[in-house]
Each structure stands twice: as structure tokens, then as C-alpha cells.
Amino acid sequence: MAVASDDATRNCSHCDRVIPSSNFDLHFAHCSRKLEKCKICGDMVPRASAEEHFLSTHAPVSCSLCSETMEREVLAIHKGENCPQRIVTCEFCEFPLPAIDLLEHQEVCGNRTELCYLCNRYIRLRERIGHDSRCTGVADNIAESSRATRPVERDRVPQRRQPNEFSRKRLLFTIAITGIAVLLGSLLFQRKTEHSQVH
């Protein structure tokens, strides 16, 4: 049986595959003429489309975001984790922006302050998470001086802003009225002078 099966197959030297003896001549003629072994992956590919196989399977690709050229195996990782132009979001304001700008943006964004309603202090956004877990709801010694003024300041702000806006509106209104009066006055004056010239 073993001898019989050895006779039943032959090894194709071109593609290095085991071929049934009955098909061998036909296979070899076709294989050696039409196919070639890809030097990179070892697959047998049609000679006519060898270049296409290389371009679509092995040729380096360029990232559509930053146009850097790389092996196609790493493209997905590059786009998801390494590309400087991939879109990420700021951890403080959740604004989407290219990764390359993130550090600089967060440097500024994280320095903004927000009022902690528990201890009534202004906390930098970058320190907010740590602060929230530590905040006792009582202003500590460092904030002692600002604690005295801040609630007053906070109460005063809305009262101060309203008259401000109100008086600004009144001022604009006054200016408008004055403007109209001046305009009417000059028109009347013009008419008077025209009349007097006619007479």
C-alpha cells in the first residue's frame, strides 16, 4: 500500500506541493508557466497578477490622516493609538482635537478653575478629581483668607451685575434719544435756514 501511494503522487518542484501522478504533467505545465511563488508570503500567485498581489497585500501603505508610510500590518494600530493626527478628546472639556495638540491644550484647559460647592474654593480642573475625593467640605487653612471674602463676593456679584446691565441699557437709550433729538434739531435748523434764504 505504501509503495502504491508513493507512486500515486509526485512532488511539484515549482510549487512544492504534492500532486496526484495522474494529474502531474498537466499540473506541472500549468504551474510552471502560469504561477510564481511570492517571495514574501510564499503563496503561489498568477504571474499576470503578481504585481497586483504585492501592492494589495505587501506594499507599504500611507496613513490617510498623517500620510506617513508604514507596513500595512501596523496601520490599524497606528490609526487607533499612535497617529499624531488621530482625534482624541480633552479630559477636561471633552473637546475633540488631533492628538498632537492635546498636551498643549490640556496644559491650558486643566489650569481653568471651577468652584467646589463643598468647600467653596476655586479648584483647578486638573486637580479636581483628586480634590473631590479629599474634599472635606470645609475650607482648610490655606484657603482661610479667601474664605472670608469669597461668600461675600459671590452674593454681591448678581446684585452688582444687574444694575450694571440696567444702567448700560439706560445709557444706550439716552444716547439714542439724544441722537434723534440732535438729528431732528439739525433738520429743523436746516429747513429754517433754507426758508430764510428763500425770503
Contacts with Zn ion, residue ranges (CB under 5 A): 12, 14-15, 31, 38, 40-41, 43, 63, 65-66, 83, 90, 92-93, 109, 116, 118-119, 135
Residue 184 CB, nearest approach to Zn ion (Å): 53
For residues 119 and 135, the answer to whether their CB atoms sit within 8 Å is: yes
- Is 62:69 a contact under the CB 8 Å cutoff? yes
Helices (H), 48-143: 50-57, 75-77, 99-109, 125-134
- CA dist 154 and 158 (Å) reads 8
Find the shortest distance in angstroms from Cβ 106 to Zn ion.
6
Nearer CB in complex with Zn ion: 100/183: 100
Return phi, psi of residue 191, to 5°.
-65, -45
38 versus 88: smaller Cβ distance to Zn ion: 38
- For Zn ion, which is the closer residue by CB, 36 or 92? 92
Secondary structure letter of residue 61 according to DSSP: E
Minimal distance, residue 35 CB to Zn ion, in Å: 7
Nearer to Zn ion, 74 or 176 (CB): 74
- Burial label for 27, CB within 10 Å (0-12, 13-18, 19+), is middle
Q: What is the smallest separation between the CB atom of 8 and Zn ion, expressed in angstroms?
A: 17
